[in-house]
């Protein structure tokens, strides 16, 4: 099964995702002196919003700063990428002002993006400190795998008997994009390509609610579990991606027995 941040449209979103490489923030015993610069709009009330900034280290700004337009969306994409790669580490606490400095923006769009991640179950609010990345274990991953299988596998099998070969052939570029992304070895890059391919397949069912729910579960399944310094290795990603092309070949050929077997391999929760 693949563990594959929402596909970012435009160069601005890519810049934010490329910029974030977030090490764990130090504990109270080894923190540097307080930051000595004026806060931007929305940062002065950080403590009241659950962000204790005293003693947190000053971080250099990334090479490319995000554009003012759609800043919140770009930051959200970048944070999702950081979750997929493990740069935002399970169990660690991060404050919006410090992350804002690393992105070159105020704390406000970072805080808004973190609140969205809290709604998605990726982080939780820590009063007067910031947001803690939720620690997820093997049981949660297994539950997510089962939910994905229950949602997606029946749809794939139903579509195998109703969608014409030429429509499946149109998805070839997306399947091949997952192979290229896997070959790069970057979990965040693969996560985007993986979700794009699955979203395109499920969209053939014509059910927007299905696509939305499946995408949410898929994204959550891509976050590495507690105790894992990073997501899966390149070999696992490549194997996952080749399952996409094999499935597409079987769907184009109309080989429903092969599709059924490949779906079972691709969604372990079906067993």
Per residue in 117-164, pLDDT (tens digit) is: 999 889 999 998 999 999 888 888 889 999 999 999 999 999 999 999
**pLDDT given at position 48:** 41
In the block, which residue shows the tokens 């979990």? 187
Domain boundaries, the chain: 11-133, 138-270
For residue 4, pLDDT beyond 90: no
Is pLDDT above 90 for 96? Answer: yes
- Reported confidence tier of residue 251, pLDDT bands at 50, 70, 90: very high
Mind giving me the DSSP string for 229-252?
SSS--HHHHHHHHHHHHHHHHHHH
What's the whole-number average pLDDT of the chain?
78
Q: What integer pLDDT is reported at residue 24 of this predicted model?
A: 43
Cα–Cα dist 58/92, whole Å: 17
Least confident of 17-31, 40-54, 67-81, 166-180: 17-31
The single residue listed with the structure tokens 């504990």 is 27
Residue 12: pLDDT above 80?
Answer: no
Intrachain domains 11-133 and 138-270 with the same fold: no
Which two tokens mark 50?
């659950």
Find out if CATH 1.20.120.530 is the number for domain 138-270.
yes
pLDDT: is 72 or 68 the higher one?
72
Q: Which of 122, 127, 124, 145 is nearest to 5 (CA)?
A: 122
> Which residues, including other chains, have CB under 8 Å from residue 74's CB and lie 6 or more apart?
8, 12, 13, 15, 16, 66, 67
Give the burial string for 103-134 (b: 16+ CB within 10 Å, else e): bbbbbbbbbbbbbbbeebebbeeeeebbbbbb
Q: For domain 11-133, say whether CATH 1.10.10.10 is its number.
A: yes
Quick one: which H or E segment has residue 126? strand 123-126
The band of 234, judged by pLDDT with boundaries at 50, 70 and 90, is: confident
What's the pLDDT at 269?
Answer: 62
| Cα 202 from Cα 215, distance rounded (Å) | 10
Q: 3-class DSSP state for residue 127?
A: coil
Straight-line distance from the first to the last Cα atom of the chain, in angstroms, rounded to the nearest whole number: 12
* Residue-wise pLDDT tens digits, 174-217: 999 999 999 998 888 999 999 999 999 999 999 999 999 999 99
pLDDT for 140: 86
Please indicate whether residue 60 or residue 232 has the higher confidence score (pLDDT): 232
């Amino acid at each position: 099964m693949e563990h594959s941040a929402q596909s970012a449209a435009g160069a601005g979103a890519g810049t934010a995702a490329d910029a974030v490489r977030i090490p764990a923030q130090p504990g109270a015993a080894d923190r540097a002196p307080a930051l000595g610069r004026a806060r931007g709009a929305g940062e002065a009330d950080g403590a009241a919003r659950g962000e204790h900034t005293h003693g947190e280290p000053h971080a250099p700004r990334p090479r490319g700063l995000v554009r003012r337009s759609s800043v919140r969306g770009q930051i959200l994409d970048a944070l999702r990428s950081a979750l997929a790669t493990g740069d935002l580490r399970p169990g660690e606490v991060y404050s919006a002002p410090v992350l804002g400095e690393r992105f070159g923006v105020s704390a406000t769009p970072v805080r808004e993006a973190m609140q969205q991640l809290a709604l998605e179950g990726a982080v939780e609010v820590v009063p007067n400190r910031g947001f803690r990345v939720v620690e997820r274990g093997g049981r949660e991953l297994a539950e997510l795998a089962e939910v994905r299988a229950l949602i997606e596998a029946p749809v794939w099998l139903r579509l195998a008997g109703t969608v014409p070969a030429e429509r499946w052939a149109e998805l070839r570029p997306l399947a091949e994009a997952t192979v290229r992304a896997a070959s790069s070895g970057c979990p965040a890059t693969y996560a985007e390509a993986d979700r794009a391919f699955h979203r395109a397949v499920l969209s053939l069912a014509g059910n927007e609610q299905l696509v939305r729910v499946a995408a949410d579960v898929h994204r959550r399944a891509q976050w590495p579990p507690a105790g894992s310094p990073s997501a899966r290795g390149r070999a696992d990603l490549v194997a996952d991606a080749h399952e996409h092309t094999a499935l597409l070949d079987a769907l184009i050929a109309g080989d429903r027995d092969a599709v059924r077997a490949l779906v079972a391999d691709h969604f372990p929760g079906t067993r």
